[in-house]
Every structure is written in C-alpha cells, then in structure tokens.
Amino acid sequence: MRRALIIPGVIVLFSGCITAAAASTITYENGIRQLLDKHCLACHGSDSPTMEEFNKNTEGYKAKSLGPRFDTYENLMVVVNGTETGALMRRLDDGTNTKDGKPGNMFKNLGNNDARRAANLAIVKQWIGGWTLKRATDISEAEKNAIRAPRN
C-alpha cells in the first residue's frame, strides 16, 4: 500500500521538474529576440549592414554607430555559430573569460546596472550553451557543436 502511494508521488514530482526545466529553456523566440529589441537593435537593427558589408567598411559603419545586423535569427547566428563564430560572445563577455579581466565592448549595453547586465548575460549564456571567445578559425568541432542557440 505504501509503495502505491510513493510511486505516483515520485512521478508527479519528476514530471513537475521536467515541465519546469522545459519552460525555462531560453530560445531566440522566447527571450533572446526581446533582449535584442531592448538592448541591441538601435545599433544592430534592420538599418545596419550585414556582416559581409560591415567587414568591408568597419570604420565607416562604426562612425555611424552601426554594427552588424542582428535583426533576424539568421543574421545573429553569423556571430554566434557561423562565419564569425564567437564574435557575440567576445563582445558580451563580462571579463571572467578573458586574460586581462576586461569585459567585451558591448557588455555595458546589456543593462543599466551591474545586476541587470549580469542577469541578461546569464540569459544569453544559457541560450548559447557552449560559451567561447574563440574565433571561427580557432574553434574545434566539439566546441562548435556545444553551441546550442535554439530558435524555438
């Protein structure tokens, strides 16, 4: 009799954990897009150049306060796990992963105070999974595969 009561309780407990874990999965559509809208798209929106265009005239675009376009999942993935793998991570890192301890040049834009920046960085890191500051030419296949960054 006791086992019959314990087993359903355990099932309910574990199913609740699975539901909570699934609900907390960060995706582009349920967290990252909103974060970009609020903190990034003023300089990385639809008026910004593609990465290819940006690389041809970096200083000219910087003078206009425009960075590479992140207005769609596809454009963002170029700097997450594409031809410019790691670029987003290098720019948003808080300095804990750098030799000199300096944060990336865009970390300051993740929020208006240290707590907000740390919370938003944690969201981005959870979404990406395999956080790396390496460039596309230096990353191993295993490191590249560890980058999740799900769309949905």
Q: Is 1 exposed, middle or buried (0-12, 13-18, 19+ CB in 10 A)?
A: exposed
Mean pLDDT score of the chain: 89
Residue with tokens 């009561």: 5
Among 147, 146, 130, 124, which Cα is nearest to 32's?
Answer: 124
- Here the tokens at position 8 are 């359903």
Residue 24 pLDDT grade (very low, low, confident, very high; cuts 50, 70, 90): confident
pTM, full prediction: 0.83
CA distances from 141 to 27, 83, 122, 137 (A): 22, 14, 24, 11
**Main-chain phi, psi angles of 13, to 5 degrees:** -60, -50
The pLDDT score that the predictor gives to residue 54 is 97
Residue 75 pLDDT grade (very low, low, confident, very high; cuts 50, 70, 90): very high
